[in-house]
Chains A and B, each alone.
Chain A
Amino acid sequence: MNEIAALLEPQIPGLRRYAWALLRDDEAADDLVQDTLERAIGHWTQRRREGDLRAWLFTIQRNLFLNGERRRRRRGPHVGVESLETLPSTESRPDESSELRDVLAGLEALPEEQRSVLLLVAVEDFSYEQAARALDLPIGTVMSRLSRARERMRQFMENGRRTVLRRVK
């Protein structure tokens, strides 16, 4: 029991950060982390002994997030890049033409598959191999998604949301 806590707890800050970056809501993010931990504990014996605990936990959390998204989409109207418009106003700069745009708004403009790759690699310090394992992708796909994510972020940061929105649609 203590062994489980000793292995899981160091992962919680990263899981909370990833959850918050996906959901941008404190309560919802911690709900997701709690579900992830419960699921991990419930399946503790099924994790691969030699496997990478961190990659396993992030895989579970991402799958729970995606399942939640699917459910939300079935229930309500589709929320895509339009959600950019509903970003908390405190995040946006007073001067919209400012060359410095909020990096989180740029993150939001990415499709989830690119967002997750970027978050795991650039923020959570996953190696490319670990990210490939966590996302169940070939490493080449990880690299090209990462490259596309950064390119789109750059366009967003440089040109602002209108241009990106036009390009996305």
Chain B
Amino acid sequence: MTEERPIGPPIGEDDLQAYVDGRLPPTRLEAVEVYLAAHPAAEAQAQAEIEQRNLLRARLAFKAQEPIPSRLRVANILAEHSREPRLPWASIAAAVAWLAIGIGVGAGGMAWYGHLGASPTPVAQLAASDAITAYRTYVGERLHAVEVPAEQEAHLVQWLSRRVGKPLLAPNLTAEGFRLMGGRLLPAGDEPAALFMYDDGRGNRLTLYARSGGAGETTSFRFENQDGVSAFSWIDNGLSYVVTGRVDRERLLAVAEAAYRQFEAQPQPPAGGKL
């Protein structure tokens, strides 16, 4: 019995999927067709999947053919955007409202801005307090403020993400007037924490602190001031974040919002996914 000489490497599941999607290059297509001709079960399966693909496309096509509602017109969204920046996050809106009506927070005082109105989460509180300590320790450092400088940002982010166990990023804060200096790894109880440091070129520095914790929780922004050092902290996606600086609350809030949005927009591996 003569066997057809295989063209290229053995047929894999990826070839069969690409066959269904019509994405095989001609030479490979030939090899897959030879394979399918010899394997009726695989052939039937591929045909069923092609039919399924066509059905699915046909079934969903109507939505892409509908006229676009005016609320999705980019011009309308842009107009809305420039008129007043919409803050879809209840927590931020609430924080802004609190600030706007001028509720002062004295040194050592603490305020909760939130939809929950609950008592402080210990996880967030601890993180904030550790972050403020880290800020005090490193921000005055002239020579060794950071362990890895901003020039090696990709390496820094990758390293800290691996150590903290969650995908991190060093938010771009240039719109808020801050430039990344670099970062370092810190001990935080049983696990490591990441610290990014920024400066504004006028001697003001701030830090973004992140560590895992508070799984399953999402809190709103929480403001804290200890002896002139201000911090906004929040928990999202299993990470505690703290933005710390000796800057006024409005400026720090803008930084916290920017960092929050950039973390939100970051692609995340699904739960249980690899890192």
Contact = CB atoms under 8 A, between A and B. Distances in A.
Given A34-B72, A46-B265, A143-B13, A122 B81 contact: no
Interface in B36-64: 45, 48-49, 52-53, 55-57, 59-61, 63-64
A112 B270 CA distance: 9
A144 B66 CA distance: 33
Nearest to B69: A30
Secondary structure at chain A's binding surface: helix, strand, loop or mixed? helix
Contacts of B78: 1, 4-5, 41
A130 to B, nearest CB: 12
Interface residues of A, number: 60
B265 A147 contact: no
B216 A74 contact: yes
Nearest to A5: B74
Contact of B57 (A9, A37, A122): A122
A88 interface: no
A55 to B, nearest CB: 9
A60 B273 CA distance: 18
A38 B77 contact: yes
Contacts of A102: 59
A14 B65 CA distance: 9
Interface of A: 1, 4-5, 8-9, 12-14, 16-17, 20-21, 29-30, 33-35, 37-39, 41-43, 45-46, 59-60, 63, 66-67, 70-71, 74, 102-104, 106-107, 112-113, 118, 121-123, 127-128, 134-137, 140, 143-144, 146-147, 150, 153-154, 157-158
Interface of B: 13-14, 16-18, 20-21, 23, 45, 48-49, 52-53, 55-57, 59-61, 63-66, 68-69, 71-75, 77-78, 81, 85-86, 88, 172, 175, 216, 218, 261-262, 264-270, 273
Given A20-B60, A35-B88, A154-B49, 6 more contacts: A16-B66, A30-B71, A38-B88, A71-B218, A143-B13, A154-B48
29 contacts: A5-B75, A9-B68, A12-B68, A12-B72, A16-B64, A38-B77, A38-B88, A43-B265, A60-B265, A66-B268, A74-B218, A103-B59, A106-B52, A121-B21, A123-B56, A123-B57, A123-B60, A127-B23, A128-B18, A134-B267, A136-B269, A137-B269, A140-B14, A144-B13, A147-B13, A147-B16, A150-B17, A150-B20, A154-B52
